[in-house]
Structure 1
Amino acid sequence: MCEVAQWHPQYTHADLEAMPSVQFGIIHSRLSLGEYRRHLPTANTLAALLNALGGKGEGEGKAMPEHKRFDPHELLPSYARPEALYRGLPLTPAQCVAVMDAIADRELPSWAVQHLATVMPLAQIMRLGGTRSGKAGEERDGFEQLLSAE
């Protein structure tokens, strides 16, 4: 409630307490959109700088694949990510993380990965879900196998 009162000085605390919860929820959800607008230029600059320094992987001198590039939206603070960014996507960022963990641990059969690719492009799943190594002690994790097969 204090966040809304801080960013919308036209409302007093008494007004906010008397406000219906639906209306308050709409006003509160718009705060993240304002923070998004405020932080996006910095995130764009930071993403460009990190991509110029080699992206998420080791700089091998070759063209960088899309999943190893930093996206400005993943560099935003959590409170500056409005829900509208992910509206209409078949998988949420949390589901993309779960998919990437399952691929790295070799828990998904190849037909499931192929089906996921028809639902949402794998490059987008990798960008939203991130990448990680498989279980300790394995030479190559499932994620590396997936990329080498492409």
Structure 2
Amino acid sequence: MIKHAALVSFLMHLDYFDAGNMDSFVDDLTVIPAGRGTDAAGQIVVCEMEYTGVYGIADYPHVQYPVQRLLAQISAWLLDHDTDRTTPFDFSVNVETNPRDDSKADLEIRIPFREAVTASADAGGELALAGEHYDVNA
């Protein structure tokens, strides 16, 4: 779940909230076997993963950093870093807010992702498929 981890890192470096107030996890993971080639010689897509990245932020300071500002940052990150989306509207970002007081709210942001798991041909590789051996690309 490379995209999920990269977005977590991005959010932590925004300094919009205390990093200790964020919890994240992957939900609804579906694995779709593929076994197809790629444009790179000797490389295959073994499977695709579809999942929802969930990002919970407690006590988000929405007066100091309006939620729209955070969502604009997330949207820009998705447009720049998630090339599997063919249009910006492929996957919607769902946000749930729970106001704590006049200046803070708890947020839950849910973002669907799709990632290909690729492998490269390697005679000594541990992954065997159709009589060939591969190493999974991390």
Q: What is the TM-score normalised by the length of structure 1?
A: 0.21
Q: Comparing both structures, which one devotes a greater share of its residues to helix? A: 1
Q: What is the TM-score normalised by the length of structure 2?
A: 0.22
Q: Greater CA radius of gyration, 1 or 2?
A: 1
Q: Comparing both structures, which one devotes a greater share of its residues to strand? A: 2
